[in-house]
Amino acid sequence: MPISRLRRRRAVDPDRGSDGQLLTLLYTAHADAVRRFVAGYVTDSQHREDIVQETFVRAWKNIDRIDVERGNARSFLFSIAHNALIDQWRARSRRPEVLTDDHATAATGDGVDASLERILLAESMRRLSAEHREVIKALYFDDMTIAAAADRLGVAVGTIKSRSYHAVRALRVVFDEMGLL
pLDDT digits (tens, 9 = 90+) for 27-86: 888 899 999 999 888 888 898 999 999 998 998 888 887 766 666 788 888 889 999 999
Fold of 111-178: Arc Repressor Mutant, subunit A (1.10.10)
Tell me what pLDDT residue 147 has.
93
Residue 12 has pLDDT above 50, yes or no: no
Residue 175 has pLDDT above 80, yes or no: yes
The string of DSSP codes covering 36-83 is HHHHTT---HHHHHHHHHHHHHHHHHTGGG--TTTT-HHHHHHHHHHH
Tell me what pLDDT residue 103 has.
57
Tell me what pLDDT residue 6 has.
45
Average pLDDT in the chain: 80
CATH of range 3-94; options 3.40.50.300, 1.20.1250.20, 2.40.50.100, 1.10.1740.10: 1.10.1740.10
Residue 95 has pLDDT above 80, yes or no: no
Tell me what pLDDT residue 115 has.
80
Q: Where in the chain is the domain with CATH 1.10.1740.10?
A: 3-94
pTM of the model: 0.45
Query: Which residue, among 81, 85, 91, 28, has the nearest Cα to 59 in the 3D structure?
Result: 81
Helices (H), the chain: 3-12, 16-39, 45-61, 73-94, 101-126, 130-136, 146-153, 157-178
Query: Which residue, among 143, 7, 1, 156, has the nearest Cα to 70 in the 3D structure?
Result: 7
Tell me what pLDDT residue 49 has.
92
| Cα-Cα end-to-end distance for the chain | 82
Tell me what pLDDT residue 13 has.
43
Tell me what pLDDT residue 156 has.
94
pLDDT level of residue 138 (50, 70, 90 thresholds): very high
Residue 131 has pLDDT above 50, yes or no: yes
> Helices 157-178 & 101-126, crossing angle to 10 degrees?
120
Q: Where in the chain is the domain with CATH 1.10.10.10?
A: 111-178
Residue 91 has pLDDT above 50, yes or no: yes
Tell me what pLDDT residue 66 has.
73
Q: Rounded distance, CA 175 to CA 181, Å?
A: 6
pLDDT level of residue 153 (50, 70, 90 thresholds): very high
> Helices 157-178 & 146-153, crossing angle to 10 degrees?
100
Residue 87 has pLDDT above 80, yes or no: yes
